[in-house]
């Protein structure tokens, strides 16, 4: 791990050796972010396709929930296995496997002759999504220099949102083909999946992973193309020091100083999902066709396009203001407005003929509130509250819990709405929004403007550990 740095000779002719290449960096980041776009597309495409899939295979309530959530079961396993596979085989290679999985799932979901075949195809897609949800931001963070890491990592979040919007637009455009349109809705994702696979041959492996596997000269080569040889030498030394110091174990997550951030991360991961946002993302078209009385499938699916557009605009706003306003205010505003919006949906469904305009308006408020706070805010906060040596493992646990909660919500919404009526279901989600608001208000600290070292030291202070090296560090509030 501590192999000496071997500077590249001036006469080597290596592209971008002296000054580095911003284009090379942006290419690598954009290619990895394509996995985020496919992630967003695959989780959202079911929203419009399920309307026709339900008719094609005559699905009952439980079967419809299975068709919608089969992808998410794959996500659970994919996110759990991604860490082990990427440490063994590298970031880029596992991203390639994910691209193949995306393509196989897209084609497999387009040609099934029965529900079982469809469930298998979507499960494979879930494996790819689960791995991509971990690897895309990880890869971007590891190839990016500190000065642009935040902006470039945010590309992945934006790519997911764009993928959702593209899925809604594709669903609407293809819906005019009639009953068979659901097959084309899934199939169109095969082309960008294959494009991602090919593009990954033209981007580098993560320099950090190269150092971890004893390939420091190759890491130096990658860093030189990004930042130039002089800066690359310094960066490589820092990476080697960090890798040498990473002796954290899973047991350290239970250290008294880190129990609270672990509980916060897991609790917020679960609450982010059970506040009900994915009822809008996954079941929006069914809500309009089955509960609002909108029998025109294309019109119902077009409502999702509006939801996707609002999601994209609000996410852009969040990326601009989250470092200005802080994490806690956005999370509290987000969960508070979501509670009101879910209550509004519950009241709308008290009517025997709910107003389509009112239902859509409440959905838009719910989506905008999530996209500006709980959506990006969760990922920012959970990446900040753990020390570097255990951050990866801690985030893996939190992500696993998030996908489990997402699957539980998706598997139960239609049954819950059938048993308690849509009004009862949305009131339950409003209650979870309120719990989220209280958790943020009473428990979650503000991390804005704090270095990662300050945050770590503050956890030690709150656990009443010896503070010989931490005097004067402000506690988190």
DSSP 372: I
pLDDT in tens, 48-89: 888 899 889 999 989 998 998 899 999 988 888 877 788 788
DSSP 355: -
Number of alpha carbons in the 13 Å side-chain half-sphere of residue 260: 18
Q: Establish if 227 belongs to a structural domain.
A: no
Domain membership of residue 345 as a residue range: 250-477
112 lies in the same domain as 33:
yes
The percentage of residues in the chain with a pLDDT greater than 90, rounded to a whole number, is 32
In this structure, what token pair is assigned to residue 336?
A: 């508070």
The pLDDT value recorded for residue 10 is: 42
Check pLDDT > 70 for residue 102. Answer: yes
Q: Establish if 12 belongs to a structural domain.
A: no
CA 289 to chain centroid: 28
The pLDDT value recorded for residue 248 is: 54
190 lies in the same domain as 287:
no
Q: Domain end: 203, 237, 263, which one?
A: 203
The pLDDT value recorded for residue 4 is: 44
Q: Domain end: 144, 177, 203, which one?
A: 203
Check pLDDT > 90 for residue 271. Answer: yes
269 or 445, greater pLDDT: 269
Radius of gyration of the chain (CA): 23
Place of tokens 């709405």: 417
DSSP 289: I
pLDDT in tens, 356-410: 889 999 999 999 999 888 888 887 777 677 765 666 677 778 888 988 999 899 8
Total domains in the fold of the chain: 2
156 lies in the same domain as 282:
no
358 lies in the same domain as 258:
yes
The pLDDT value recorded for residue 130 is: 87
241 or 17, greater pLDDT: 241
Check pLDDT > 90 for residue 106. Answer: yes
Q: Mean per-residue pLDDT for 412-418?
A: 90
Q: What is the pTM of this model?
A: 0.78
**DSSP-assigned states of every residue in 247-266:** ---GGGGGSHHHHHHHHHHH
323 lies in the same domain as 468:
yes
256 or 99, greater pLDDT: 99
Q: Establish if 406 belongs to a structural domain.
A: yes
The pLDDT value recorded for residue 2 is: 43
The CA distances from residue 106 to 110, 138, 379, in Å, are 6, 24, 27
401 lies in the same domain as 472:
yes
176 lies in the same domain as 278:
no
Q: Mean per-residue pLDDT for 324-348?
A: 91
146 or 315, greater pLDDT: 315
Cβ atoms of residues 344 and 333 within 8 Å: no
The pLDDT value recorded for residue 98 is: 92
Q: Domain end: 146, 176, 203, which one?
A: 203
The pLDDT value recorded for residue 250 is: 61
Distance CA 403, CA 409 (A): 10
Distance CA 363, CA 166 (A): 19
Burial classification of residue 449, based on how many CB atoms lie within 10 Å of its CB (0-12 exposed, 13-18 middle, 19 or more buried):
exposed
Burial classification of residue 431, based on how many CB atoms lie within 10 Å of its CB (0-12 exposed, 13-18 middle, 19 or more buried):
middle
């Amino acid at each position: 791990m501590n192999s000496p740095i071997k500077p590249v000779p001036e006469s080597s002719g290596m592209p971008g050796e002296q000054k580095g290449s911003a284009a090379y960096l942006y290419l690598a980041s954009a290619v990895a972010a394509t996995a985020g776009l496919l992630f967003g597309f695959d989780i959202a495409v079911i929203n419009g396709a399920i309307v026709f899939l339900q008719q094609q295979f005559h699905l009952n309530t439980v079967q419809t929930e299975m068709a919608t959530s089969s992808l998410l079961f794959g996500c659970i396993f994919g996110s759990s296995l991604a860490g082990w596979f990427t440490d063994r085989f590298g970031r880029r290679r596992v991203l390639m496997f994910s691209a193949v999985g995306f393509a196989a799932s897209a084609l497999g979901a387009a040609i099934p002759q029965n529900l079982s075949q469809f469930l298998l195809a979507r499960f494979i897609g879930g494996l790819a999504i689960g791995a991509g949800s971990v690897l895309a931001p990880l890869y971007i963070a590891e190839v990016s220099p500190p000065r642009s890491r935040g902006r470039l990592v945010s590309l992945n979040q934006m790519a997911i949102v764009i993928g959702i919007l593209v899925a809604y637009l594709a669903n609407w455009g293809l819906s005019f083909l009639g009953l068979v349109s659901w097959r084309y809705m899934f199939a169109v994702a095969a082309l960008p999946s294959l494009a991602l696979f090919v593009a990954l041959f033209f981007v580098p492996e993560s320099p950090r992973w190269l150092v971890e596997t004893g390939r420091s000269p190759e890491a130096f080569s990658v860093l030189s193309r990004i930042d130039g040889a002089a800066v690359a030498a310094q960066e490589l030394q820092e990476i080697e020091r960090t890798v040498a110091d990473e002796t954290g174990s899973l047991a350290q997550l239970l250290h008294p100083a880190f129990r609270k951030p672990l509980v916060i991360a897991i609790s917020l991961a679960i609450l982010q999902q059970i506040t009900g946002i994915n009822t809008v993302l996954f079941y929006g078209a069914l809500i309009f066709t089955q509960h609002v009385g909108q029998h025109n499938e294309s019109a119902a699916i077009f409502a999702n396009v509006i939801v996707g557009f609002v999601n994209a605009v609000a996410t852009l706003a969040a990326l601009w203001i989250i470092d200005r306003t802080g994490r806690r205010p956005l999370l509290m505003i987000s969960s508070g407005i979501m509670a009101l919006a879910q209550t509004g949906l519950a009241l709308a469904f008290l009517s025997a003929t709910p107003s389509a305009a009112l239902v859509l308006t409440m959905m838009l408020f719910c989506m905008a509130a999530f996209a500006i706070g709980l959506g990006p805010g969760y990922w920012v906060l959970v990446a900040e509250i753990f020390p570097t040596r255990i951050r990866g493992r801690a985030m893996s646990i939190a992500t696993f819990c998030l996908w489990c909660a997402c699957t539980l919500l998706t598997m139960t919404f239609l049954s819950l709405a059938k048993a308690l009526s849509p009004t009862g279901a949305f009131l339950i989600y409003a209650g979870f929004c309120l719990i989220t608001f209280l958790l943020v208000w009473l428990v979650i600290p503000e991390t804005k403007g704090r270095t990662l070292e300050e945050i770590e030291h503050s956890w030690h202070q709150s656990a009443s550990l010896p503070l010989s090296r931490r005097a004067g560090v402000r506690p988190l509030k």
